[in-house]
Amino acid sequence: MSDTTATTIGATTEPEGPQLLSWDSRARRVVTIYVPLACFLVILLFPFYWMGITTFKPNSELLNYKDNNPFWISSPTLDNIRKLLFETDYPRWLTTTMAVAFASTALSLVSSVLAAYAIQRLRFRGSNYVGLAIYIAYLVPPSILFIPLAQVVFQLGLFDTPFALILTYPTFLIPFCTWLLIGYFKSIPYELEECALIDGASRLQILRRITLPLAVPGLISAGIFAFTLSWNEFIYALAFISSTEKKTVPVAILTELVQGDVYHWGSLMAGALLGSLPVAIFYSFFVEYYVSSLTGAVKE
């Protein structure tokens, strides 16, 4: 009897042990990974969901939550988008924003590449302090800089023109991009440049033919950050642009679609939704390079 009982107990306990362990590990993984991730996604994506449903809601549903579900659309409409595109200067605002963002990003990347390469590769005396000073310059808030920059813009005769933004945005884009590229250039083996120098290549040739091709993920990452910051910038665009047709999307939506105490919520959300699409598309094209620049660089 004792042998039979022992055999029976052993037969039942052996398979139950791994099942209990696997169940505990699954429950622990759900609690520690999937639940926080689901909460994070809900919190992150809910504003975009709210923008989307508000864009296609008629005013009767927007202003009457007592009889309508605030989280769903009963009668979708395109009136808000039609009003935004055909009754305002939104297409022109979007074109101006895109032109300013591309121009300031290109100007900032060129300047940042030259500055980062000189600081990291030329190894002159005090280069580390120069890199630190550039990073500290990035920490200065734009709300302090726009006052002296306004005097410069007025003296140059650039007020109320897109060039005022193209020339002032690099004041906060170049420090950040330079700091980012310094860290990426540091990961590129210096022996490659030494071999090119021995073969008689100049510094510009090395930068153009060796360093930049290897630093493409870093350049794209810096470009994405610069483009996003330029696209969403508000203070400089509000201070330096006064004409309605020359405003950028973030400023124009707030100043032109709010009349006194009347908020055109449908058109406001439509403008915010359409204004966020170019940035999302820009990210989607270069997401692989962006991730590679954050997770690792060139391996020796």
Residue at 78 is within a domain: no
CA atoms in the 13 A half-sphere facing the CB of 221: 23
Helix (H, G, I), strand (E, B) or coil at 81: helix
Give residue 248's pLDDT.
92
The DSSP letter of residue 33 is I
Last residue of a domain, one of 55, 75, 96: 55
Do 15 and 108 belong together in one domain? no
Average of per-residue pLDDT across 230-240: 90
Res 11 pLDDT > 60:
no
Residue at 73 is within a domain: no
Q: What is the pLDDT of residues 52-73, one digit of tens each?
A: 888 888 888 887 777 788 888 8
Which structure tokens are listed for 91?
A: 């297409």
Distance (Å, whole) CA 271 – CA 68: 23
Average of per-residue pLDDT across 45-49: 88
Do 47 and 185 belong together in one domain? no
Residue at 82 is within a domain: no
Last residue of a domain, one of 11, 33, 55: 55
The number of folded domains in the chain is 2
Do 24 and 109 belong together in one domain? no
Average of per-residue pLDDT across 199-210: 85
Do 37 and 111 belong together in one domain? no
Closest CA to 77 of 58, 59, 64: 58
- Describe the chain by its helix, strand, coil percentages, rounded to 5: 80, 0, 20
Do 124 and 22 belong together in one domain? no
Residue at 103 is within a domain: yes
Do 30 and 179 belong together in one domain? no
Do 7 and 114 belong together in one domain? no
Do 192 and 126 belong together in one domain? yes
Give residue 111's pLDDT.
92
Give residue 23's pLDDT.
64
Do 25 and 112 belong together in one domain? no
Helices then strands (H, E): number in the chain? Answer: 17, 2
Last residue of a domain, one of 39, 55, 71: 55
* Geometric angle at alpha carbon 161, from 156 and 163, rounded to 5°: 70
Residue at 269 is within a domain: yes
Quote the mean pLDDT of the chain: 82
Count other C-beta atoms under 10 Å from residue 193's C-beta.
Answer: 17
Do 275 and 181 belong together in one domain? yes
Residue at 71 is within a domain: no
Residue 26 domain boundaries: 2-55
Residue at 263 is within a domain: yes
Using pLDDT thresholds of 50, 70 and 90, give the confidence band for residue 9: very low
Q: How much is the pTM?
A: 0.79
Distance (Å, whole) CA 72 – CA 64: 13
Closest CA to 279 of 233, 218, 235: 233
Do 131 and 190 belong together in one domain? yes
Do 104 and 253 belong together in one domain? yes
Distance (Å, whole) CA 167 – CA 157: 12
Distance (Å, whole) CA 202 – CA 200: 7
Burial label, 298 (beta-carbon count in 10 A; 0-12, 13-18, 19+): middle
Q: What is the pLDDT of residues 80-89, one digit of tens each?
A: 888 888 888 8
Residue at 286 is within a domain: yes
Q: What is the pLDDT of residues 123-169, one digit of tens each?
A: 777 777 887 888 788 788 877 888 888 888 999 888 989 999 999 99
Count other C-beta atoms under 10 Å from residue 94's C-beta.
Answer: 19
Q: Helices 265-285 and 287-295 sit at what angle, rounded to 10 degrees?
A: 70
What is the CA 32 to chain-centroid distance, rounded?
28
CATH of the domain at 204: 1.10.3720.10
Closest CA to 228 of 290, 139, 182: 290
